[in-house]
Amino acid sequence: MLINTIVSLTKSETFIIGPIANIFGIIMDTIYSTLSGMGIISLGVSIIVFTLIVRTLMLPLAFKQQKSMKEMQKIQPELKKIQNKYKDKKNQDEQQKMQMEMNQLYKEHDVSPFGGCLPLLVQFPIIMALFQVLRNIPSYIGQVNVLYSNIASKVMVLEGAETPFIEWADKLVVKNFDITNINKVIDVVGKFSSAQWVDFQNLFPSINGVITTNYAQISEIYTFLGINLADKPDLMSIGVLLPLLNVGIQLLVMKTSGSGGATDNPTQKSMMYTMPLITGFFVSTMPAGLGLYWLIGSLFQYAQQVVINRHLHDGEKL
C-alpha cells in the first residue's frame, strides 16, 4: 500500500536530510518568530527571508560550480582536438594516452571534469531538506503548530473521527496514521487544502467554533498576495503568476549561465526550453509555498549569475 512506502509528513528522520531539515526548521522558526514580533504575521515573507538566507549560505558552492563550468567551456575546443586526434585509435594504450593528455589539460587550467557536479551533489540533500521544512510548516514553526494543536486536540477525542481521518491520511499520504497521536492528526490537518477545510468543518459541527477561530488565523498566515500558500496555485486566478514567473526566470537563468549559448549543441538548446517548462509544471502541481520558495531562489540565482559572469568577464578571481 502506497501509504506505507512514503516518508511521513512529520519531521524527517532520513539520514543526512533529517538533521539538515531540523537545522533549517530552527532557522525558519526563528525568522517567523522574529517577524511576528515585529507585527509581520506572514508565512510568505518568512519563506522569502528564509530563501535569501539559505541561498546566501550556499553562495560559495554556487561560485565554485559556476567557475568550474565556465573554465570547462573555455577548454572544450582543446578537448575536442585531443578526442579527434585519438578518434580512430581504439586500443587500450592509445586510449590511455588520450586520457593522460586530457588530464594534463585539466591540470594546466586547474579544472576538474567533475568540478561542476560535486557542488550539485552537496546541494542535493540541502534542497531536499528545504522541501521537507516547507511542505510541513506546522512541524517546524512553533506558533503555527499551536494553532493546529488547538484543533487536533479537540477532534482526536471525538467519536467517529478516526474513519474520515484514515481516509484523509490515505489521500494525503500520511504514514502510519494514529488518531491517538496528536502529531499524526496535525500531519493530516496540516495538508488540508481550502476545500478540505470546508469539508472538515461540515463533518465536525460540534467543534466548529474551535476550527473556525484557529483556521481564520491559519488562513491569514498562509495567504500571501492573495495566494493561499497551502494550496496548489489556482491557474484561473493570480496564482497563475507563480508557474509563469518561474518559467520566465528559469529561462533567464539558463541564458545567463550559458546553458543555451552553444547554438550548435541541440541538447543544450533543448534543455534551455524544456527545463523551465518542467519547473513550471512542478510549481503548478505543488503547494504554492514551495512555488514561492522556488521563485525567490530562481531570482536570487539569476542575480548571482549576473555577478559571476561579470567577475569572470573582468578576469577577477572568485
Res. 116 pLDDT band, cuts 50 70 90:
low
What local confidence, expressed as pLDDT, does residue 146 receive? Answer: 95
Closest CA to 179 of 195, 162, 167: 162
Q: 228 - beta bridge partners?
A: 223
CB 189 within 8 A of CB 200: yes
Is pLDDT of 272 > 70? yes
CA distances in angstroms from 195 to 154, 199, 213, listed in the order given: 21, 7, 17
Res. 267 pLDDT band, cuts 50 70 90:
low
CA distances in angstroms from 103 to 66, 67, 75, 184, listed in the order given: 20, 18, 12, 54
Lowest mean pLDDT among 61-75, 155-169, 224-238, 256-270: 256-270
The three-class DSSP label of residue 184 is helix
Res. 241 pLDDT band, cuts 50 70 90:
very high
What local confidence, expressed as pLDDT, does residue 248 receive? Answer: 94
H or E segment to which residue 186 belongs: helix 182-189
Amino acid identity, position 188: V
Lowest mean pLDDT among 4-13, 121-130, 281-290: 4-13
Lowest mean pLDDT among 6-10, 92-96, 199-203: 6-10
What local confidence, expressed as pLDDT, does residue 134 receive? Answer: 80
Is pLDDT of 307 > 60? yes
Which residues are CB-neighbours of 133 under 8 A, at least 6 positions away? 21, 24, 25, 28, 140
Is pLDDT of 117 > 50? yes
Candidate ranges 199-208, 274-283, 302-311; pick with highest mean pLDDT: 199-208
Which residues are CB-neighbours of 168 under 8 A, at least 6 positions away? 174, 188, 192, 196
What local confidence, expressed as pLDDT, does residue 259 receive? Answer: 54
Average pLDDT of the residues in 171-181:
91
Where exactly are the structural domains of the chain? 2-58+130-223, 232-318
What local confidence, expressed as pLDDT, does residue 262 receive? Answer: 46
Is pLDDT of 99 > 70? yes
Long-range contacts of 87-95 (CB under 8 A, 24+ apart): none
Which residues are CB-neighbours of 130 under 8 A, at least 6 positions away? 21, 24, 54, 293
Give the mean pLDDT of the chain: 84
